[in-house]
Amino acid sequence: MKLEAKEAEDRTQAKEIQIRTARVQDAEKLLEIYTPYVEKTAITFEYEVPDVKEFTRRIKNTLERYPYLIACQEGEVFGYAYTGPFVGRAAYGWAAEVSIYLKEDKRGKGIGRKLYGAVEAISKAQHILNLNACIGYPEAEDAYLTKNSVQFHAHMGYSMVGEFHKCGYKFGNWYNMVWMEKEIGAHDAHPAPVIAFPDLDAEIVKKCTVLDSYSLPGSFLPSVP
Protein backbone atom coordinates (compact mmCIF):
# COMPACT_ATOMS: atom_id res chain seq x y z
CA MET A 1 0.00 0.00 0.00
CA LYS A 2 1.33 3.44 -0.93
CA LEU A 3 2.23 5.81 1.89
CA GLU A 4 -0.56 8.25 1.02
CA ALA A 5 -3.20 5.51 0.98
CA LYS A 6 -1.89 4.01 4.23
CA GLU A 7 -1.96 7.43 5.90
CA ALA A 8 -5.53 8.04 4.72
CA GLU A 9 -6.65 4.63 6.03
CA ASP A 10 -4.94 5.20 9.38
CA ARG A 11 -6.53 8.62 9.66
CA THR A 12 -9.99 7.17 9.06
CA GLN A 13 -9.45 4.42 11.62
CA ALA A 14 -8.04 6.84 14.19
CA LYS A 15 -11.12 9.06 13.90
CA GLU A 16 -13.21 6.14 15.13
CA ILE A 17 -11.15 5.89 18.31
CA GLN A 18 -12.53 7.62 21.41
CA ILE A 19 -10.25 9.45 23.83
CA ARG A 20 -11.35 9.67 27.45
CA THR A 21 -9.89 10.28 30.87
CA ALA A 22 -8.55 7.20 32.64
CA ARG A 23 -10.23 5.91 35.77
CA VAL A 24 -8.70 3.86 38.56
CA GLN A 25 -10.88 0.97 37.36
CA ASP A 26 -8.82 0.96 34.15
CA ALA A 27 -5.61 0.09 35.99
CA GLU A 28 -5.66 -3.62 35.18
CA LYS A 29 -6.19 -3.10 31.44
CA LEU A 30 -3.55 -0.40 31.28
CA LEU A 31 -1.11 -2.57 33.16
CA GLU A 32 -1.66 -5.31 30.56
CA ILE A 33 -0.51 -2.83 27.91
CA TYR A 34 2.48 -1.69 29.95
CA THR A 35 3.71 -5.16 30.98
CA PRO A 36 5.32 -6.16 27.63
CA TYR A 37 7.26 -2.90 27.60
CA VAL A 38 8.85 -3.85 30.92
CA GLU A 39 9.39 -7.53 30.16
CA LYS A 40 10.47 -7.36 26.52
CA THR A 41 11.81 -3.88 25.76
CA ALA A 42 14.12 -1.15 26.95
CA ILE A 43 11.51 1.47 26.07
CA THR A 44 10.98 1.70 29.81
CA PHE A 45 14.01 1.31 32.06
CA GLU A 46 11.81 -0.25 34.74
CA TYR A 47 12.92 -3.82 35.60
CA GLU A 48 9.91 -5.22 37.48
CA VAL A 49 6.28 -5.06 36.40
CA PRO A 50 4.34 -3.10 39.05
CA ASP A 51 1.30 -4.73 40.59
CA VAL A 52 -2.23 -3.42 40.04
CA LYS A 53 -2.22 -1.60 43.38
CA GLU A 54 0.93 0.33 42.49
CA PHE A 55 -0.32 1.07 38.99
CA THR A 56 -3.61 2.35 40.41
CA ARG A 57 -1.64 4.63 42.72
CA ARG A 58 0.28 6.04 39.74
CA ILE A 59 -2.92 6.81 37.86
CA LYS A 60 -4.49 8.53 40.88
CA ASN A 61 -1.38 10.59 41.55
CA THR A 62 -1.18 11.75 37.94
CA LEU A 63 -4.85 12.74 37.79
CA GLU A 64 -4.47 15.01 40.79
CA ARG A 65 -2.84 17.57 38.49
CA TYR A 66 -2.26 16.19 34.99
CA PRO A 67 -4.24 14.43 32.23
CA TYR A 68 -4.14 10.66 31.95
CA LEU A 69 -5.91 9.70 28.71
CA ILE A 70 -7.05 6.41 27.18
CA ALA A 71 -7.68 5.54 23.53
CA CYS A 72 -10.49 3.00 23.24
CA GLN A 73 -13.19 1.63 20.99
CA GLU A 74 -16.25 -0.37 22.03
CA GLY A 75 -14.74 -1.07 25.43
CA GLU A 76 -11.34 -2.20 24.16
CA VAL A 77 -8.40 -0.11 25.34
CA PHE A 78 -5.74 0.46 22.68
CA GLY A 79 -3.28 2.71 24.52
CA TYR A 80 -2.79 5.55 26.93
CA ALA A 81 -0.82 8.74 27.38
CA TYR A 82 -0.27 11.11 30.26
CA THR A 83 1.83 13.99 31.49
CA GLY A 84 3.59 14.57 34.77
CA PRO A 85 5.89 17.03 36.49
CA PHE A 86 9.14 17.94 34.77
CA VAL A 87 11.79 17.70 37.50
CA GLY A 88 9.37 18.97 40.15
CA ARG A 89 10.77 22.30 41.34
CA ALA A 90 8.44 25.29 41.32
CA ALA A 91 10.18 27.12 38.47
CA TYR A 92 9.56 24.13 36.19
CA GLY A 93 5.81 24.41 36.71
CA TRP A 94 5.08 25.41 33.11
CA ALA A 95 6.76 22.30 31.72
CA ALA A 96 5.45 18.74 31.77
CA GLU A 97 6.90 15.35 30.89
CA VAL A 98 4.80 13.28 28.48
CA SER A 99 4.59 9.49 28.10
CA ILE A 100 2.71 7.11 25.83
CA TYR A 101 2.16 3.34 25.58
CA LEU A 102 0.14 1.43 22.97
CA LYS A 103 -0.89 -2.18 22.60
CA GLU A 104 1.69 -4.03 20.54
CA ASP A 105 -0.72 -4.70 17.67
CA LYS A 106 -2.04 -1.11 17.58
CA ARG A 107 1.18 0.68 16.77
CA GLY A 108 1.42 2.53 13.46
CA LYS A 109 -2.32 3.19 13.11
CA GLY A 110 -2.50 6.87 14.10
CA ILE A 111 -3.65 6.17 17.65
CA GLY A 112 -0.49 7.54 19.21
CA ARG A 113 -0.85 10.72 17.22
CA LYS A 114 -4.46 11.14 18.34
CA LEU A 115 -3.53 10.58 21.99
CA TYR A 116 -0.67 13.06 21.80
CA GLY A 117 -2.90 15.59 20.07
CA ALA A 118 -5.37 15.43 22.94
CA VAL A 119 -2.60 15.63 25.54
CA GLU A 120 -1.12 18.65 23.82
CA ALA A 121 -4.47 20.43 23.56
CA ILE A 122 -5.23 19.82 27.23
CA SER A 123 -1.75 20.95 28.22
CA LYS A 124 -2.30 24.21 26.35
CA ALA A 125 -5.59 24.68 28.18
CA GLN A 126 -3.70 24.18 31.44
CA HIS A 127 -1.23 26.92 30.38
CA ILE A 128 1.63 24.42 30.09
CA LEU A 129 4.25 25.89 27.73
CA ASN A 130 6.76 23.06 27.26
CA LEU A 131 6.25 19.33 26.74
CA ASN A 132 9.27 17.13 27.34
CA ALA A 133 9.83 13.47 26.52
CA CYS A 134 12.47 11.23 28.12
CA ILE A 135 13.28 8.46 25.63
CA GLY A 136 15.54 5.42 25.70
CA TYR A 137 17.86 5.58 22.70
CA PRO A 138 20.14 2.86 21.30
CA GLU A 139 23.48 3.60 19.68
CA ALA A 140 22.54 0.69 17.42
CA GLU A 141 19.00 -0.68 17.20
CA ASP A 142 18.48 -4.14 18.67
CA ALA A 143 15.68 -6.52 19.64
CA TYR A 144 14.88 -4.49 22.76
CA LEU A 145 15.04 -0.89 21.57
CA THR A 146 14.73 0.96 18.26
CA LYS A 147 14.74 4.65 17.33
CA ASN A 148 11.01 4.65 16.49
CA SER A 149 10.01 6.69 19.53
CA VAL A 150 12.43 9.47 18.62
CA GLN A 151 11.11 9.41 15.05
CA PHE A 152 7.52 9.59 16.29
CA HIS A 153 8.25 12.58 18.53
CA ALA A 154 10.13 14.33 15.72
CA HIS A 155 7.09 13.98 13.47
CA MET A 156 4.94 15.38 16.27
CA GLY A 157 7.08 18.52 16.30
CA TYR A 158 9.52 17.66 19.10
CA SER A 159 13.20 18.60 18.87
CA MET A 160 16.19 16.80 20.32
CA VAL A 161 17.68 18.84 23.15
CA GLY A 162 20.02 16.49 25.00
CA GLU A 163 21.54 13.01 25.15
CA PHE A 164 22.98 11.06 28.08
CA HIS A 165 25.27 8.21 27.15
CA LYS A 166 25.14 4.65 28.45
CA CYS A 167 23.06 5.65 31.46
CA GLY A 168 20.54 2.81 31.31
CA TYR A 169 21.43 -0.87 31.70
CA LYS A 170 18.85 -3.50 30.77
CA PHE A 171 18.98 -6.99 29.21
CA GLY A 172 22.76 -6.92 29.41
CA ASN A 173 23.03 -3.80 27.26
CA TRP A 174 23.86 -0.16 27.89
CA TYR A 175 21.44 2.38 26.42
CA ASN A 176 21.50 6.12 25.99
CA MET A 177 18.68 8.41 27.07
CA VAL A 178 17.57 11.50 25.18
CA TRP A 179 15.33 14.43 25.98
CA MET A 180 13.06 15.86 23.29
CA GLU A 181 11.05 19.04 23.71
CA LYS A 182 8.15 20.88 22.12
CA GLU A 183 7.22 24.45 22.95
CA ILE A 184 3.43 24.78 22.79
CA GLY A 185 2.94 28.31 24.10
CA ALA A 186 4.46 31.77 24.28
CA HIS A 187 6.96 32.37 27.09
CA ASP A 188 5.76 35.76 28.34
CA ALA A 189 7.28 37.73 31.19
CA HIS A 190 4.25 36.95 33.34
CA PRO A 191 2.86 33.53 32.37
CA ALA A 192 -0.66 32.59 33.37
CA PRO A 193 -0.85 30.22 36.36
CA VAL A 194 -1.02 26.56 35.43
CA ILE A 195 -4.48 25.05 35.91
CA ALA A 196 -4.65 21.60 37.46
CA PHE A 197 -6.35 19.06 35.20
CA PRO A 198 -9.29 18.45 37.59
CA ASP A 199 -10.02 22.20 37.56
CA LEU A 200 -10.39 22.46 33.78
CA ASP A 201 -13.90 22.97 32.45
CA ALA A 202 -15.34 19.63 31.35
CA GLU A 203 -16.41 21.05 27.97
CA ILE A 204 -12.86 22.22 27.28
CA VAL A 205 -11.51 18.75 28.04
CA LYS A 206 -14.15 17.20 25.78
CA LYS A 207 -13.21 19.49 22.88
CA CYS A 208 -9.54 18.66 23.36
CA THR A 209 -10.18 14.93 23.03
CA VAL A 210 -12.06 15.13 19.72
CA LEU A 211 -9.74 17.43 17.75
CA ASP A 212 -8.21 16.38 14.44
CA SER A 213 -4.66 15.56 15.47
CA TYR A 214 -3.55 15.61 11.83
CA SER A 215 -3.73 19.40 11.99
CA LEU A 216 -0.72 19.32 14.30
CA PRO A 217 2.77 19.98 12.86
CA GLY A 218 4.47 17.05 11.18
CA SER A 219 3.26 14.25 8.95
CA PHE A 220 2.36 10.85 10.36
CA LEU A 221 4.98 8.12 9.99
CA PRO A 222 3.27 4.71 9.83
CA SER A 223 6.20 2.78 11.31
CA VAL A 224 5.92 4.53 14.68
CA PRO A 225 3.13 4.72 17.32
Q: Tell me: the pLDDT tens digits for 41-67?
A: 999 999 999 999 999 999 999 999 999
56-109 pLDDT per residue, tens: 999 999 999 999 999 999 889 999 999 999 988 999 999 999 999 999 888 888
Tell me how far apart the alpha carbons of residues 160 and 31 are, in angstroms, rounded to a whole number: 29
Q: Which helix (H) or strand (E) holds 194?
A: none
Going by pLDDT thresholds of 50, 70 and 90, the confidence category of residue 211 is confident
Residue 161 has pLDDT above 50, yes or no: yes
- What does the pLDDT read at residue 5? 53
Task: Work out the pLDDT band at 10, boundaries 50, 70, 90.
Answer: low
Q: Residue 168, class by beta-carbon neighbours within 10 Å (0-12 exposed, 13-18 middle, 19+ buried)?
A: middle
Local structure of 89: helix, strand or coil: coil
Q: What's the pTM value of the predicted model, to 2 decimals? A: 0.88
- The pLDDT tens digits of the residues spanning 185-199 come to 999 999 999 999 999
Residue from 29, 38, 100 nearest 68 by CA:
100
